[in-house]
Amino acid sequence: MYVQNALMDMYARMGKIGISRIIFDSMEVRDLVSWNTMITASVISECHESALALLMEMQSRRKDASKDEDMYNDERVHSWKPNSVTLMTVLPGCASLAAILKGKEIHGYAIRNSLALDVAVGSALVDMYAKCGCLYLSRRMFDQMPVRNIVTWNVIIMAYGMHGKGEEALQLFKNVVGDGAGGEGVMPNEVTFVALFAACSHSGMVEEGMRLFYRMKDEHGVEPLPDHYACAVDLLGRAGQVAEAFQLIDSMPCEYDKTGAWSSLLGACRIHQNLEVGEIAAMNLLELEPDVASHYVLLSNIYSSAGLWNKAMDVRRKMKERGVRKEPGCSWTEFGDEVHKFIAGESSHPQSQELHRFLETLSDRMRKEGYVPDTSCVLHNVNKEEKEALLCGHSEKLAIAFGILNTPPGMTVRVAKNLRVCNDCHTATKFISKIEEREIILRDVRRFHHFRDGKCSCGDYW
| Mean per-residue pLDDT, 134-145 | 96
pLDDT of residue 111 exceeding 90: yes
In a shared domain, residues 391 and 313: no
**344 plus 291 within the same structural domain:** no
Mean pLDDT of the chain: 91
On whether the CB atoms of residues 327 and 37 are closer than 8 A, the answer is no
Is the predicted pLDDT of residue 288 greater than 70, yes or no? yes
**Long-range contacts: 307-313, Cβ < 8 Å, 24+?**
309/381, 312/379
Q: What is the DSSP letter of 392?
A: H
Average pLDDT over residues 77-104: 90
276 and 372 in a single domain? The answer is no
Considering the domain architecture, whether residues 288 and 355 belong to the same structural domain is answered as no
pLDDT at 237: 96
Q: Are 416 and 393 in contact (CB under 8 A)?
A: no
Last residue of a domain, one of 267, 301, 326: 326
* pLDDT grade for 183, boundaries at 50, 70 and 90: low
pLDDT at position 377:
63
Residues 355 and 309 in one domain: no
- Tell me the C-alpha distance between 193 and 204, whole Å: 16
DSSP 46-70: T-HHHHHHHHHHHHHHHHHHTT-HH
Q: What is the pLDDT of residues 24-54, one digit of tens each?
A: 999 988 899 999 999 999 999 999 999 999 9
Do 303 and 417 share a domain, yes or no?
no
User: Does residue 113 lie in a domain region?
Assistant: no
What CATH number is attached to the domain comprising 309?
1.25.40.10
Residue 72 lies in a domain: yes
In percent, the amount of the chain with pLDDT more than 70 equals 92
**Per-residue pLDDT tens for 223-250?**
999 999 999 999 999 999 999 999 999 9
Average pLDDT over residues 304-316: 89
Reported as a single tens digit per residue, the pLDDT across 324-369 is: 988 888 999 999 888 999 998 788 889 999 999 999 999 999 999 9
Q: Do 343 and 443 belong to one domain?
A: yes
Q: Model-level pTM? A: 0.88
Q: Specify whether 249 is located in the same domain as 292.
A: yes
Look at residue 80 in the predicted model and tell me its pLDDT: 81
Q: Where does a domain end: 18, 53, 81?
A: 81
**Among 269, 294, 326, which residue terminates a domain?**
326
pLDDT of 78 over the 80 cut = no
Sheet holding 440-443, edge to edge: 338-343, 330-335, 413-417, 440-443, 448-452, 455-456
Q: Is residue 182 part of a domain?
A: no
Query: β-strand 413-417 against 440-443: which pairing, if any?
Result: parallel
Q: Which domain holds residue 3?
A: 1-81
Is 145 among the domain residues?
A: no
Q: 282 and 322: one domain?
A: yes
Question: Does residue 161 belong to any structural domain of this protein?
Answer: no
Distance CA 60, CA 55 (A): 9
Question: Could you tell me if 276 and 244 lie in one domain?
Answer: yes
Q: Do residues 327 and 295 lie in contact, with contact meaning Cβ atoms separated by under 8 Å? A: no
Residues 309 and 349 in one domain: no
First to last CA, the chain: 49
Task: Evaluate if residue 182 carries a pLDDT over 70.
Answer: no
pLDDT at 107: 97
The total number of structural domains in the chain stands at 3
Task: Please check whether residues 380 and 438 belong to one and the same domain.
Answer: yes
* Helix/strand/coil for 241: coil
Quick check: is 89 in a domain?
Answer: no
Cα–Cα distance measured from residue 271 to residue 176, given in angstroms and rounded to the nearest whole number: 34
What angle do helix axes 384-392 and 423-435 make, rounded to 10 degrees? 60
pLDDT at 185: 72
